[in-house]
Structure 1
Amino acid sequence: MNKQTAFLTWQDPDSRDWHVIGVLEYEKEQYSFRYTQGSRATNNFVPFSGMENLTKEYRSSGLFPVFQNRLLSSKRPEFPKFISWLGLNHETANSMDVLTRSGGVRGTDNLQLFPKIELGEGGEFEHVFFVHGVRYLPESAQKRIDSLKSGDVLYACLDIQNEFDNNAVLLRTQNPPELLGYIPRYLSLELFSILTENQNTMCFSVELISNEAPESYKLLCRVQGSLPTELQHSFMAGQEYQPLTD
């Protein structure tokens, strides 16, 4: 299996800003974790217990506790249904697959994971993600989501007047037009400027609808596109993404 990479984000409780504070990797049955430059963006971030040294690379044959605690036990009766909501195969999905697809979110803290999106030789990429903010939509939007089918084309709308996120991107249907929610911030941060220049470089579609799932796992979407050559080197490679140790 190729190396799997996930970035860990943390929300500052004061500013409410999100920062990339670490990178988790899995390769050859070994996990590694390094803090990134984003962990020094604010004095409010506190390193994890047993991982207090910001400049050390941590290695383990098992998943670190801070991440293991974010996984639903496979012994739980609802586990197969949960994996199906994620659009994963319960026989082949590993812990990294589950963490990056679900975000590893817990209601008791302000941490979230997302996968590194790999680019092809020509800058092409493909990524699957959950739409955010479904719970805040009107009833008409909720009904429209329930009627969607896998493969349905969706359209990106730049929410330029969003006072909380300058890079917010909404997804909508075509006929009739209906707003369905937001693409994740880690994704809109990378794609907003590209969509501003030329929306034809990206194609959004419905991957999976899980009507029985909680709102956060109801609408799974796919984006396919390509990046211009001049932006490929900076994709998911900003200052906050850089490890504090080589």
Structure 2
Amino acid sequence: MSVGEAHVGPLPQWDGQVTRLLVTEKDELGLYRPVGFLDAVDCGEEVAYRFAYLEAATRRPSFRPLLGFRDATRPYESAGLFPLFAERIMDPRRPDRPMYLAALDLEDEATPLEVLARSGGQRAGDGILLTPVPHVDGNGRTSCVFLVHGIRHLLGATERVDSLRPGDRLRITPEPANPVNPRALLVTEDGNRPLGWVPDALLDYVHEVQDGTLTVVRVNPREVGTRLRLLVRLEGVASPDWQPFTGPNWSTVG
């Protein structure tokens, strides 16, 4: 049995509250491409997990199965979080875990998927990144919390982040001249002072959000590393008939 196929006890039925994360992987251009969905269903006393590849991802010439998920033709289910993702969550026994959770604006009781959704689950030298799947309610209201990417690549951005405070308003500025992705969106202090970028996987979602308000949730000290420096929240409206990451291009295998 492969790493991703391990089952721990009987699986609960998939009829509870489902939390979904998009799994992406960095390609040769440095862009994070969608690979599949990781779902968790809360069935009261138990949580079950499912991973399934996107059909579109398996058709890419550069597609390679993730560790533990060799069979790209079917979904995987487990009563425990798959090792590939579980190893991206900080050990509760580590003394610096409270500081880590605080940097993510999470409580000690945060679930594994809440931690992965907020942190992205990145590891050094690893191209895998997890992204929360936002929800649009019946009135079109939507929100999403995310870490600003690429701060270290912008001259002066680290110093500008130092001056921010929770609640500060920021802006999202299109960057059509971006040499890697013309749909890139900069997070800026006033429209002219760039701080970093919206994560690649959220670009389609953010482009759909209207009347968006972007505010600082948390500014972390430099010691935590640039990846966790700036946590922001986007709130706005979209069409009530639209949900992010749905439609033919987002169909999963099996």
TM-score, length basis structure 2: 0.85
Matches within 5 A, 1:16-31: 16-27=30-41, 28=43, 29-31=47-49
Cα offset, 1:55, TM superposition? 2.3
The verdict on how the C-alpha distance between 1:147 and 1:114 changes in structure 2, with shifts beyond 3 A counting, is: same
Q: Which amino acid aligns with 2:197?
A: Y
Cα offset, 1:158, TM superposition? 0.6
Q: Does 1:182 align with 2:193?
A: no
Distance 1:48 1:159 in 2: 32
Cα offset, 1:58, TM superposition? 1.2
Pick the aligned partner of 1:236 from 239, 245, 252. Answer: 245
CA deviations 1:158-202 (Å, max 9, x no partner) are 10111101211112123x95211111111223223x47xxx6x11
Pick the aligned partner of 1:6 from 13, 17, 21. Answer: 21
Cα offset, 1:134, TM superposition? 0.7
Pick the aligned partner of 2:216 from 196, 199, 206. Answer: 206
Q: Which amino acid aligns with 1:118?
A: H
Unaligned runs of 5+ in 2: 1-15
Per the alignment, in what secondary structure is the counterpart of residue 163 of structure 1? coil
The verdict on how the C-alpha distance between 1:202 and 1:16 changes in structure 2, with shifts beyond 3 A counting, is: same
Matches within 5 A, 1:1-246: 2-13=17-28, 15-27=29-41, 28=43, 29-90=47-108, 92-139=109-156, 141-174=157-190, 177-192=192-207, 194=208, 201-211=211-221, 212-229=223-240, 232-233=241-242, 235-245=244-254
> Is the 8 Å Cα contact of residues 6 and 115 (structure 1) preserved in structure 2?
yes
Q: How large is the RMSD of aligned CA atoms in angstroms?
A: 2.0
Q: Which amino acid aligns with 2:34?
A: V
Cα offset, 1:203, TM superposition? 0.7
> Is the 8 Å Cα contact of residues 55 and 251 (structure 2) preserved in structure 1?
yes
Q: Which amino acid aligns with 1:73?
A: D
Cα offset, 1:46, TM superposition? 2.1
Q: Which amino acid aligns with 2:195?
A: L
Distance 2:154 2:26 in 1: 23
Distance 1:68 1:18 in 2: 20
What is the identity percentage for the equivalent residue pairs of Structure 1 and Structure 2? 28
> Is the 8 Å Cα contact of residues 22 and 36 (structure 1) preserved in structure 2?
yes
Distance 2:168 2:115 in 1: 25
CA deviations 1:42-74 (Å, max 9, x no partner) are 233222344222222211111101111212211
> Is the 8 Å Cα contact of residues 24 and 201 (structure 2) preserved in structure 1?
no
Unaligned runs of 5+ in 1: none
TM-score, length basis structure 1: 0.87
Distance 1:213 1:173 in 2: 21
> Is the 8 Å Cα contact of residues 167 and 215 (structure 2) preserved in structure 1?
yes
Distance 1:19 1:237 in 2: 16
Per the alignment, in what secondary structure is the counterpart of residue 34 of structure 1? strand
The count of corresponding residues between Structure 1 and Structure 2 is 234
> Is the 8 Å Cα contact of residues 8 and 22 (structure 1) preserved in structure 2?
yes
Q: Which amino acid aligns with 1:74?
A: P
Distance 1:171 1:183 in 2: 6
